[in-house]
Structure 1
Amino acid sequence: MTASPNRGLALTAGSLLALWGGLGFFFAADGDPGFFNRQGGMLWNAFGVNPALCFVWVLLAVVLLITGLGNTVGSRNGNLLVGALLVVFAVYGFVFVDTSANVFALNTTDNVFHAIVGVVLLLTAVGADKENLRAIRASARA
């Protein structure tokens, strides 16, 4: 597919988030149909979903898919951005899971998923493609 780990991961994670976001819209109606409801439906009996969370997943998927189809620098920046947002989302979920501020119907499974995917995206953005990025920068200077 591609020689860049950042591009490959961006396309893979983007596809996963797009699939879950799309399916989540159908299962979000199981609970209260409000957009920011705290008790959403369940996706695969594990992930709590509501329309707001599914919308966020689809937006993040669009960012990853667009940057993954671009160049190495763009996919690295996309992975960095989405990874940071998912880690912030995980922290938000762990802090506000049982409060009225949980407007995304997050549960522990959602929080662990966001933390793992976010950390993997961040580590790949920071650690991978160093040789590719050096070559790109060197050719830009020449």
Structure 2
Amino acid sequence: MAIKEPGITASPNRALAVTAGTLFAIWGVLGFFFAQDNGGQFFSRSGGFLWNAFGLNPALCAIWTLLAAAFFIVGLGNTIGSRAVNLVIGVVLLVLAVYGFVFMSTSANVLALNTTDNVFHAIVGVVLVLTALGADKENLRALRAAGARA
């Protein structure tokens, strides 16, 4: 008997991927409109502000948009891929948060990161990593067992 891939509502990793993809798509696309405040430079220490809180430049908006695309691809795909991408992107966001906190006031801050960006990246990164490591245990076990039988 084949195991059916759990739907988006039955898989926390898939649901989180679609939700995070929506969030990053909104942030990324809206950010491109406000990022033009930095004089048109792709990488710069200063940029526009989204909702008077998130510092951004076109490079950061491009990263957010690419993350959104990755989330949508796996969130609408399968549970195993969603778990893997949530884990990888969660770690990347945690690294980006640490990078932002360390280099925020230096010339190495080429993504125009500010404290709000760093806290946002840290929170989303922690949620992604914890969900990837803790959720969908039964779904993944059943899918892997079905794959081994096939």
Matched, 1:109 2:116: yes
Verify the 8 A CA contact 1:20 1:54 in the aligned structure 2: yes
Q: What is the SS of the residue equivalent to 2:41?
A: coil
Q: Deviations over 1:48-99 (max 9, x none)?
A: 0100000000011111110000110011011011111101100100000000
Unaligned runs of 5+ in 2: 1-7
In structure 2, the partner of 1:120 is: 127
Matched, 1:71 2:112: no
In structure 2, the partner of 1:48 is: 55
79, 94, 97: which one aligns with 1:87: 94
Q: Deviations over 1:83-127 (max 9, x none)?
A: 111011001000000000000000000000000001100000000
Q: CA RMSD in A?
A: 0.8
Verify the 8 A CA contact 1:2 1:8 in the aligned structure 2: yes
Counterpart-to-counterpart distance in 2, 1:15 and 1:141: 34
What is the deviation of 1:42? 0.4
In structure 1, the partner of 2:4 is: none
Q: What is the SS of the residue equivalent to 1:48?
A: strand
In structure 1, the partner of 2:5 is: none
Matched, 1:11 2:6: no
Q: What is the SS of the residue equivalent to 1:37?
A: coil
Runs of 4+ that moved beyond 4 A: none
Counterpart-to-counterpart distance in 2, 1:97 and 1:81: 23
Counterpart-to-counterpart distance in 2, 1:74 and 1:50: 30
Unaligned runs of 5+ in 1: none
Verify the 8 A CA contact 1:83 1:117 in the aligned structure 2: yes
Q: What is the SS of the residue equivalent to 2:42?
A: coil
Aligned residues: 142
Q: What is the SS of the residue equivalent to 2:113?
A: coil
Q: Which amino acid aligns with 1:113?
A: F
Matched, 1:31 2:38: yes
Structure 1 or 2, whichever has the larger Rg, is: 2
> Under a length normalisation based on structure 2, what TM-score does the superposition of the two structures give?
0.92
